[in-house]
A and B are shown apart, each in its own frame.
Chain A
């Protein structure tokens, strides 16, 4: 923190440019740029204003560890920042399970069934999320499968007597950083399309911090003694979507004849019942 302050004295003029440059390269390390950013406030004059529509720009949704390019998926480095080698510190048995998951990923990924994505996976999907906020309220709506999380104040205990798909979230403000404690996740979820996984013992501490007007640094510290030899941390950047009229659109899946569900856009005329459902709308009587 001391070095951050001293840098501020000398570098504040270029800090904005530095953040922008790092953002352009997709770097997740903006907190080291030494530019403490003070976000706008809600109408209570206190609460940092995180409202907006946000989305990552990396391909961690495919694999949070570093990965080469595949068809339709750009190569990317690991978003795992701790340990420094970018590898999830699996226990040996768990690593074998991950490898098996990876081999079966074309059919075994729970997201293929249009399930809610879970935490932290929902944060770095290739679809946007919207932060809804007012003094005392904080919620994230994820476009993917219209999942949402209502963040509850940490003054209330976790509702952890059940396993949830999006976990149970309690939050507090640490200065201008929102710190969320997440437990009670089901073990039926993956972190990505590559089979990285956890157990019901998972405990996540998320940190949301605005590093500029249009960037939120997202960090999740993950511990799960059943699966990992030590806690580990992933970090990525959410970028504000600024196109006029941008919004979260409805994301629902339709079943095909085999009962397999597929995402369908509300902009696709096939989403209209009359377009694919012959029983209703019989020919008009003469």
Chain B
């Protein structure tokens, strides 16, 4: 798993290497300085040589300056390396998510995708930034000190050969077991956050039903779980400190004991014993540092897994090897189309859909809640792929076109209108980034958006908040229609896009759309009045085509259409 993450660090290899060398350099100085100090005592003081002492002192100062330079260099390159890694990973993940089809993204919730792209990447990045230094330093220190101890006194080094593995095994045990515990804890944290989030969104419902106490006890329950799991995880992970102390103290006591024996026997000098002690402590310290890094990694494994899940998700909708690059007409055919969102689902959402739609015609789709109107039109520009059968545009299967060409030629105004933060003009340019001022005005006029845009003090440069919250529903819908018109599409799909627009405006838009001779228009609506003049109306019922025909035909022959028509005739909608 780790190896896959290393590949994102590739572009910053140079920085990683420099940072690596800096740490090594720093560590070397750390080992040199005590030697210089020993020289001061052993030669300078012993030989009463004050010039020598001052010389060594200056050497130490130079070492200190060099260490400072290396340290500063390290912080620069390590920052670039760690952040660069994060940048590449984030970018790669974003590109991947952007390639997702909706059947892909349906596997993740929106909020979880966002977390995976933001905080999970940050966690990994921090692990690298904080873990790199000890991870380089510790093994180096470990090897150096090991070498020196064995050289100093191989017999005494035996003590440490017994203690180090015990410490190693203990630390390994902690790191290994704490990983799954942290994962459980993370799952609990997600749960807690979900409940808080839900409560925030639904606070009115909760208050209206007086369910405060109910929610409190629900929360207390999962909070208790979180507490239990996190206490367990932390209890184990903090044990590395006392374990380290036990081992360190054991070593000191043993070394003092055996060392003194050796001194008594004349096998060792006092100075050697002190030196030995300090090296052994360095070895244990290095092990401790490594275990700390591994604990950190154990905590970020959950994030790694969550990111890998995104990376491993294979985009289910891709271009075929030699895609067609031209769409000449807006003829649409559905041939025995079956569709379900989830392969495992028992029932199809759409069943045996057969349709032929002439280029340039206007088609209405009508049907009850959950009759799969939206699902049907989403198959045309491959937001989802059919489960069975085929959808054709201009007599070719939609799968044979390049996705870009297909979606450039099919404009869809969605039920849930999304506008982005930015000016009105910027939003409109989504339809065609090269559109001229005139074209923009034309599109807005067709969609009846010009009148309200021009009333704003800043006109087309009016800034929209995220989601266009500073516009009314009707205004948003009209802007979205204008945006779609700017694409000059072969096929235009309006999914319940005029529901908040008053009838007079709707009629105007309808007439403007009818003037687009070369564009096939598919209109989903709730109101019969919106569709009455369509050349064909498709009645969907429970994912099947119940009837197809003109308004007059259907009114005569189709029971559902009659139902809808009369239910609305009585109301305001006529």
The reply to whether chain A is a binding partner of chain B is no
List A residues at the B interface (Cβ < 8 Å). none
